[in-house]
Structure 1
Amino acid sequence: MPNSTLQVLIRGGLVVGLLASIAHLLWEYTHGGVQSHHLLARPDLPGASNWWGLIILPILGWLASRNATRGAALNEGAATRSVSRCLGALLVGLVLSFSFAAGFESVATGTFLASLAVGLILPIYRAEYIFGFVLGMTFVLGAVLPTIAALVGAGISAIVHFVIRPIMARVFHAGRT
């Protein structure tokens, strides 16, 4: 892939994140003001303003597209896989958002727990997954709380993939010899 194409792709994630954040904030601003969300939906806990999305989404988009372009430089199918990862996580984020907004907390909880279980198999610690998930949830919950949720899932997935799996592989290999 030519270097100029890589640069366009890298900037693309940043632009998508920035435009999504601006669209969300403009909509909120014109419909009663920019909201703040409290941890665990409890007003006695700290709140986070949706203005943080102007920083969070462009950074996540930039990281996701940067990882995609790095992979594309090494492997032709990597860009397609990165887009698929992002779209899959976007779908999960949208399902969570709409089920939460519609009052189906049990569906939202089940979807979130299922996504954590998927993280045991798939590397959801990758930036593409995190960006898609946060982007899908931003229009209902802002960017801060979904980012925290995504980082919890990403942390669990990273521990499984980088710590537990190698230990299990060594134990299995030692047992075979």
Structure 2
Amino acid sequence: MQQSSSLKKRIYCTILVTVFIWTLLLWDYFHGGVTSHHLLQNKDLPSFSNWWSGILLPLLTWFLLYRSQVRIAKEATSSALPSSFIAYFVGALLFGIVLSVFFTLSNQDVPFYMIVGLLMLALFLPIYRSECFLGFVIGMTFTFGGVLPVLIGTILVLICSILYLALRPMVLFVYSKIANLLHK
């Protein structure tokens, strides 16, 4: 029964994201054309059409929600969606939106400090999770399409996972050893 409920939720969310991205693409198409984005805003580097978002975002949503459901099923004792899932998703969604707004306003300082803050936060919270990645990508999609946020998000997820899963345990180990030496 829980498997069926999880599948339905994943289907609904994927349909919602699909409708969102195709509505955005059709709006762009009928209002000046679907744009392409160059890597690092450099015309010499390859560009990615926003049309790719119509395929990429539904597939990404389906995959990331599956990954989240598997992790939640292993961790949870009840079948309810944990509030941390929603908090991480909404937090990453808002982070992506705010980052996009400041980038659109040509303010380079705030996005830089946001990314530095995100990396600091990665030492304390598991923000490398699938729901964070999905929220971040969806939050930036309106401004950058789907491909660039996936590329940027992948890099951030890799860095954040290294910080949380590798560096954090080392720091905690050293801290515990120092604390033990001071208490002796």
Q: TM-score, normalised by structure 1?
A: 0.86
Using the alignment, how far apart are the partners of 1:28 and 1:94 within structure 2?
Answer: 19
Deviations 1:98-144 (A, max 9, x none): 11122222222222322232223222221100110010110011111
Amino acid at match of 2:118: S
In structure 1, what is the equivalent of residue 77 of structure 2?
75
Q: How many pairs does the alignment contain?
A: 177
| Cα displacement (A) at 1:72 | 5.0
Deviations 1:55-102 (A, max 9, x none): 221123223322343315733465322121111100001101111122
The Cα RMSD (Å) is 2.3
In structure 1, what is the equivalent of residue 114 of structure 2?
111
Q: Is the 8 A contact 2:123 2:164 kept in 1?
A: yes
Percent sequence identity over aligned pairs: 35
**SS of match in other structure, 2:106:** coil
In structure 2, what is the equivalent of residue 125 of structure 1?
128
In structure 1, what is the equivalent of residue 161 of structure 2?
158
In structure 2, what is the equivalent of residue 149 of structure 1?
152
Amino acid at match of 2:166: V
In structure 2, what is the equivalent of residue 20 of structure 1?
20
Q: Is the 8 A contact 1:10 1:65 kept in 2?
A: yes
Q: Is the 8 A contact 1:60 1:127 kept in 2?
A: no
**SS of match in other structure, 2:82:** helix
Using the alignment, how far apart are the partners of 2:14 and 2:61 within structure 1?
Answer: 5
Q: TM-score, normalised by structure 2?
A: 0.83
Q: Is the 8 A contact 2:123 2:168 kept in 1?
A: no
User: What pairs up with 1:23-62 in 2 under 5 angstroms?
Assistant: 23-62=23-62
Unpaired segments ≥5 residues, structure 2: none
Q: Is the 8 A contact 1:69 1:79 kept in 2?
A: no
Question: Cα gap change, 1:98/1:173 in structure 2, threshold over 3 Å: closer, same or farther?
Answer: closer
In structure 2, what is the equivalent of residue 86 of structure 1?
89
| Cα displacement (A) at 1:172 | 5.2
Using the alignment, how far apart are the partners of 2:124 and 2:90 within structure 1?
Answer: 18
**SS of match in other structure, 2:142:** helix
